[in-house]
Structure 1
Amino acid sequence: MANSSVFPSLFFFFFLLLVSHNPLPASAYSFTEFVFPNFTATNVRFIDNGGAFLFSRNGSFKAAISNPGGQQTRFYLCVIHSASGTVIWSANRDGPISNSGTMAFTRDGISVSDHDGSPKWSIPTIPKSSAAAALQLTESGNLVLLDKSNASLWESFDDPADTIVAGQILRKNGNALFSSVSGEDFSTGDYRLAFSDSDVILGWRGQSYWKLSMDPRAYTDSTSPVESMAVNGTGLFLFGRNGSIVVARVALPPADFRIARLASSGQFIVSSFSHGGMKEELDGPNNVCQIPSICGEIGWCSVSTGNNPTCQCPPGFRSKASNSDSFNGCVPSDSSSSLVGSSCSNNGSQVNSSSPPISYLSLGNGMDYFALDFSQPTKYALNLSACQEFCTTDCACLGIFYDNSSGSCYTIENDLGSFMSSRDRDSDQVGYIKTVESADKSSSGGNRGSVNETHNRKQFPLAALVLLPCIAVAVVLAAGLVWWRRWKIAGEKVRLSHANSFSSDEMDAFYIPGLPQRFDYEELDEATDRFKMQIGSGGFGSVYKGVLSDKSVVAVKKITNVGIQGKRDFCTEIAIIGNVHHVNLVKLRGFCAQGRQRLLVYEYMNRGSLDRTLFASSGPVLEWQERFEIALGTARGLAYLHTGCEHKIIHCDVKPENILLQDQFQAKISDFGLSKLLGPEQSSLFTTMRGTRGYLAPEWLTNSAISEKTDVYSYGMVLLELVSGRKNCSIKSASPSQGGGHSTTTTTTSSSSAQFGGMVYFPLVALEMHEQRRYVELADARLEGRVRSEEVEKLVRVALCCVHEEPCLRPSMVSVVGMLEGGISLGEPRMESLNFLRFYGRRFAEASILGEDGNNEQREALLNSRQEYGTSNYSSTISDPQYIPLSFISSQQISGPR
């Protein structure tokens, strides 16, 4: 009891001491760090400090009765970042008060009431045995209710509004961020950020439109379920296992103060405070047209300069607003039709005898909807009429998107948002909006005709009962005859071309969602002029140039030795590949699975593969900026394969032959996702030694687990070849002019231990020049000084970090993108994890001299590497008599060039 009576006195003494030494509050009524029970605050009382009644000890934050935007009708209990004026928390967001409304702090807690005493907000009830003793504003901006033992009874950090700050944790168990209506109205808006098992997702009225993993800088560290989110001085993080592991992260530049906010615009924005203002570092979605209501209901959004939205109405619709200066959505142009709205009744039925007629207005081709990327088709393998009929009978359905090539039927429910132009120019999806005829129109026929015409239309079905069955039988017989003749002719064509043909019924017997366009073998046979113009070959098959009926140029790959014999399994794999879309990935336009034929149809890359341009002995030389753009584009494509698409894809054969170039030398990765299509003979080769000599990660030698870090190693080797303009293992030329300049300078090679009997192993040259900080000597001699040392240093350091022997030391591809773009500082190569390159150099040289008889020498060299440096436990595998040196597997044997 003595301790209990002494505590308040001591507490108050320390409080007075703090106040007396605090110079921050300008008003005599403001307090520092603590206030005590029986305290009240209004905006009027603390008007001299803008309504602020409590400051944190360091002055970084203040608690205030504030009116955002200077308006005079809505006042809120807020916590504000002092330097920037940013509101990081508000209590009564859905119950604003007037300037004379009151915040009261008693032993029962905190409550907010308006001037007439009507309650607007209060904290949850606390036990009477734990009466509140103080209200504290911490240096991190947390408003904390304390009992007499300084134990927390309630914290604002546990009751977030639309923002979290450094030191605050947003937890999955019931917590979510909700946007405000506007910057001046803190009422709960329509946008919500919540957790999924592996991500955080933005939603609008029950529809998802963005997730954190869509940001190219997001990197996934673990497959554990996500439990919480936090920001700090180094970035944004998702945690699992009670915060013990990082599941995903976005690395950001160091900052002293950082917040993550779900803005009233619908964007999730991470900002930091610097140079007197808030700087945005991440915004999602970064394409404003993906925000659900950016252009109102059925508004058509397109992006103009500066990522600003331009809104208009799709064909067949007009703006709701009569004032052209404002745009808030669209309605049907025909005033006799209107949008249906959600009209579910208890029985779930919308259509009955008295219901007005339902019709569908097409949005036209090239239109997309923000929620489709997060939705699965509601129905599969329907025709358009059946898809519309399904929507008609569903009272919650407001519209559909129909995929003509696959028969997928997507429904739009809850609310209609904005639309945007399709990102896929070859998309076969078409959108339709469900409308209903007005009562006058449906009862009288509107302007379409008289009452007599309506009567005739009603009488028509009675006469049709007699005529239609006869007509239908005749049509079916005629169609059957035409089909039979075409089938017979097509069969003859296929037999003449020695191809086994199955009827289309075989494919129609099942449906795989998400399949790209299906081509007939005869169509591709004609497009490629009977497969005459071969442009590449390899382990997956041969590639031919073709021109489709729409005059578009394509590359047709004939898959040989297909391991997946079942058509359904083959199509399942193709559906996964076909749904991977990225600007730096070669697009799969379609496929053919007819009889034993397996063909893939890709977009045509008119500049061919990187190796043909980079290693060419004649023709124009790739300039440094072009090489850098190719490196960055390739990194972005791999980062998307690893973390951005629904099914993680490990390429396993990254090399210049699989990097294709288009106009302006835009790089696109090919052959991703094809590993499961290999036949039994090749699958054994793939399992144990997938890849190509020179790009193969050390873990392949030991049958160790293969991960996305395997691609990182191969990418690092490609990066070194981009620097030097030659193969990493090549014969030293007599002079720089020989071999198209694909040799190092005399300074580089004369003293380098990377030479073995005339062979030069460039990764070791790069390692030695990095140790000496002599970067410019590594650049392609053909560039003739058109590159600076710091530019070469960036690529070389990134490449060496990528080729660390231990996979865990290699950066993720997302981090590689960050280093190349400059958002993340360059990594420092670890010498102890790069010493294996010295033995690899000998291995390549001995292989070139000894051929297959050099197996023992190579195994001994690699074993010596592990024994001398102790960097791995690979020795048992290397000394295995069954070990096959990968030096003798050429690129043609595995997947080959284009």
Structure 2
Amino acid sequence: MPPSCAVVDTILPGQALAVNDKLISRNGRYVLGFFEISTKSTENTASSGYLGIWFNTVPKFTSEWVANRDSPIHNTTSLELTISKDCNLVIFNRSTKSVVWSTQANIIRTNSTIAMLMSSGNIILRDYSNSSKVFWQSFDHPTDTLLPGPKIGWDKVTGLKRRLVSWKSSMNPATGVYRFELDPSGVNQIVSSGVWNGKYFSSPENPGYTGPISSNLSYVTLVNNDQEKYFAIINIVDEHVVVRLVIEASGQAKEFIWFEGSQDWSMAYAQPKAQCDVYAVCGPFAICNDDVLPHCSCLEGFTITSPEDWELDDHTGGRLRNNHLGCISNKSTTPMTDTFYSMPCVQLPQNAQEVEAANKRCAIWHNGLLNLRQLQCSSTTNSNGETIYICVSGKDVQSLENNRRQIVIGVVIGFLKGSISIAVKRLDHAFQGEKQFRAEVSSIGAVQHINLVKLVGFCCEGSKRLLVYEHMSNSSLDIHLFRNNSMVLNWDVRYQIALGVARGLAYLHESCRHNIIHCDIKPENILLDGLFVPKIADFGMAKIFGRDFSRVLTTMRGTFGYLAREWITGIAITPKVDVYSYGMVLLEIISGKRNSQTPCSSGEDCDIYFPVHVAHKLVEGDVGSLADQMLHGDVNLDEVERACKIACWCIQDDEFDRPTMGEVVQILEGLVEITNPPMPRLLQAMTEA
């Protein structure tokens, strides 16, 4: 066999690329070769082999194109990539003497055909002596990723259509249910849509969206002539930045950027912005909630169809009933009455059959229930939620009643703990074992600090979990910051709240016997006692780590708007994720509004994201306008400036640029000076997208 071409960009006639060899583009940016993905099941761990192209300069493995996405190879030892007798590029199995995958181009016999990995990330099959004679290219057959250069659209002469199709899950490159393409109706817009049970769907709430599909790092061009109609990403000037557009298994189209020297990708934007806007993202008989992770959860009386797919973020399989309804099953020997349970404050799907009943307009669903969405409704919001009634089996009703009965008993026992006022929290969907739950409660219960809420007790029986806390008479911080009917906190109180929260986090990170990452710092989890002393609460997502470890691996958790980029990129986390969340909370303490609601004076741009607005104002030396307008200027400008600087340092892209919470405390106390922070590049890119 001729020598392999492991360090070049071309496969010549008679040559072969072995399993452990690679093609590398001339600019060093892309690699073509074989790779494996390991998947775990309840029984064993298996590996699937693929031929693909990935980014050579990005430390985190990221595929750009997969050849055999729907035909994984389970034994890769005898594979090679070569040019066959019919001049096609093929994956050949030497053991079975069979072709596993082929470019399947209709090529008229030539003297020589070569395969070349271009600096654009395109693998082409062309004539050796005539570089303009291209027989096949991967850019005509994209998978889930669009790079600068290739086209998405169709060739009006040949009929070739190019579109992106999502992976089935985060660990399975097989053809998924979502696609990203030019609107086939001819309208000049881009449509993200899903294939569901063999049929085409587009979301009634978001049937299509138009540009700009671009950021400050790239832009899109649309071409429509007699030969073809397509859109493409136009390359950026900065060669040290990599841009890619991906249609993810979740159904969202996302643009990611990688800066030279970075360890991972940064997300510039997502479309649709809300995960629950994606059609059928949770599958049937599930409800989607944009404000929690994971977004999808089961309706009462239903269970996950495929837990393995669920763990890989593929929720489209939906749920099945735990028990058949008595009205349609005659197998039960014990009669049980089916009934309806109500779910208030939801956004209902659009595909219902509307009927008039008892002088009220109703909507009835049969078969699969899709696109049910949980809203955050209260008397102080404008959310117009509706109520849905789900029919459940009598067996499930009995189980629900037993749960409620045991919960009431737990609350009664809680109020027999002397004369103190307490708050009881029920942990839903707590799947951890009793031993693990008791160990974590024991560790958190031993934590004592003035700025941490005190755990009075707990109840643990089977899958049921109750936590008993000391009661906070002034409720949570979000009520006082964001609700119009609440008392306005003066600046001194706000600053002391910021300092108290910082001290509590510093204690968790640095002074506990077992250090703790809270993982969900937000105003809702900061409680205020009668003197407005802040106390960090809700350790349901907390992660305990030993002093010998600087990082801890955990599943994504927390609340959007307060999540550090480490959560999104999936790397192991450190206490710096709490630092990032604290920075976001501090900005909201300063402004009195959610960061997405920029408070600004007349004549200013009110659409800019508030953290970016703060960074601009620090450069201009104008911080007085950043404080809550309800304070009418009655603030300490030095403290406002100090708090703004700290917040912007806390939300830096790179966790190593963020201070520790101990350092934040010293800065707030005025013991350490602080310089102007740089603009976080990721936030800037998101704002300009």
- Provide the TM-score with structure 1 as the length reference: 0.37
Q: Which has the higher contact order (CA 8 A, sep 6+)?
A: 2
User: Going by fraction, where is helix more abundant, 1 or 2?
Assistant: 1
- Provide the TM-score with structure 2 as the length reference: 0.46
Structure possessing the higher radius of gyration over alpha carbons: 1
User: Going by fraction, where is strand more abundant, 1 or 2?
Assistant: 2
